[in-house]
Amino acid sequence: MRNWTAGRRQAIRAMAGFVAGSPLFGWQQDPFRDHSRVPKLEELLTGLDFEPVAYAKLPRWAYDYTAYGEGSEFTLRRNRQAFDWVRLVPGAAGSGQEPQTATTILGTPAAFPILVSPTAAHMQLHPDGEPATYQGATAASQTPMIVSNVASVPFEKIAPAAKGPLWFQLYPRQDVESNRELLDRVQAAGARAVVVTVDQQASVYERALHDRNLEAASLRRLTGGTRGAPRNPYRVPEGRLWYEWKLFDQLRPMIKVPMVAKGILTPEDALLCLEHGVDAIYVSNHGGRSLDYGPSSLEVLPEIVDAVRGRVPVLFDSGVRRGSDVLKALALGASAVCLGRIPRWGLAAYGVPGVQKILEIVQTEFKQAMAATGRSTLASIDRSLVRTDFP
Ligand SMILES: Cc1cc2nc3c(=O)[nH]c(=O)nc-3n(C[C@H](O)[C@H](O)[C@H](O)COP(=O)(O)O)c2cc1C
């Protein structure tokens, strides 16, 4: 009798284990509590859902490379917090129209006022690298992608991977003439605008330095990713300290397409950029990777927009995770908004379909936010849509 009971218990336990493990019952599991499986792409509902999946799939140093900010990461956190300091004014009665989101950014048509920010080294995230990001962005209503100067794959090899709009981002070299060949190449390969990044001059990423200490020397050589401290004793890299505003005058003749200044955080600098012939201002603190204890990009956006007075478009990034964030930045005067870490999480988590899905989520949320606030055109999105409580 005892034997029979024990056998029956064992059989029930085995059956329960089989049932629980069956893919038919997968829907009963909560992807964010149960770490025994990777959730299916369809289960991810917000952009933020992708980060834990990217974390689970990436080696620690590659996750950290995407995640970290400068210094103690105060500005990185402030970038997110700033969106909480902006309230949306509800629009009880809209125009009864479906929101219209199509626009043109510096001559590039876009279904939404949303672009992919330039970010380095996509092959750290997925073996297909930037061509995969480009395919995902193009599948998401032809979202324009800005290719980083330090992409894992050269611009000319990314360009044939899809048919969407591409821009190029330049980290200028000190010998100004030596930028010409690269600029010629990317413009010949179809770059429709050139973004010149002028921030991130003396940044130190403590997470990367810690990771470097934790890595075996062999892995350090292999990844090359977790860069060490600069050679000089004050941790100041020599690379970009020479920038002067006349740089834009010097680059102008080499750039036949629109030229954008990225990393602008004060009205004074924005005005100097205009004096030196840039076609757009890109308000950004490099996603908190430039100057810790600097302001969030969102806080300084309105004063820069006021100084620019509509003479050129103002692009914006740093901290955007949701469609409502896009709406808030547009309400504070941005002409378009760029996404840095969002497409990186999509690529790391699911490759091309992940990039497509995460961008489509933000696009959908943006449209919903427009509808919920009763704004059916981009032109109707203005400061009356928000109340700000910036400290
Ligand atoms: C991992 C990573 C790499 C980046 N690489 C570059 C780069 O090569 N060139 C550049 O201009 N900006 C670079 N950025 C900054 C982004 O263009 C963008 O300003 C920032 O990611 C926006 O903030 P978000 O990530 O909160 O959206 C990088 C950002 C991250 C997170």
Atom 21 of ligand 1, nearest CA residue: 340
| Stretches in the chain below the pLDDT threshold 50 | 1-2, 4, 15-31, 225-226
Distance 249 CA to ligand 1 centre (A): 25
Question: Contact, 355 vs 140, CB < 8 A?
Answer: yes
CATH class, range 47-388: alpha beta
Long-range residue pairs from 70-74, CB within 8 A, at least 24 positions apart, any chain: 70/203, 70/204, 70/205, 70/288, 70/289, 70/290, 70/291, 70/292, 71/204, 71/206, 71/292, 71/293, 72/206, 72/292, 73/288, 73/292, 74/292, 74/293
Atom of ligand 1 nearest to the CA of 66: 1
pLDDT by residue (tens digit) across 253-264?
A: 999 999 999 999
Ligand 1 closest atom vs CA 121: 3
Residue spans of beta strands (DSSP E) within 232-344 = 259-264, 280-283, 314-316, 336-339
Sketch the domain layout of the chain as residue ranges: 47-388
AA identity, residue 151: A
Question: How many angstroms is it from 290 CA to the middle of ligand 1?
Answer: 10
The structure tokens listed for 369 are: 């936010």
48 within ligand 1 shell (Cβ under 6 A): no
The minimum-distance atom of ligand 1 relative to the CA of 195 is 11
Rounded Cα distance, 280 and 113, in Å = 14
Q: Does residue 322's CB lie within 6 angstroms of at least one atom of ligand 1? A: no
Q: Does 106 contact ligand 1 (Cβ within 6 A)? A: no
Atom of ligand 1 nearest to the CA of 80: 26
Judge whether 286 counts as a catalytic residue: yes
- Give me 68's structure tokens: 């970290």
Please indicate whether residue 152, judged by its CB atom, sits closer than 6 Å to ligand 1: no
pLDDT of residue 96: 72
Write down the pLDDT at residue 21: 45
Nearest CA to ligand 1 atom 10: 118
> Ligand 1 mean position to 289 CA, how many Å?
8
Model pLDDT for residues 84-133, shown as the tens digit of each residue: 999 999 876 666 788 999 999 999 999 999 999 999 999 999 999 999 99
Which of 226, 286, 342 has the most ligand 1 atoms within 8 A of CB, as the residue to mutate? 286
CA distance 364 to 367: 5
Distance 150 CA to ligand 1 centre (A): 11
* Residue nearest atom 7 of ligand 1, based on CA coordinates: 119
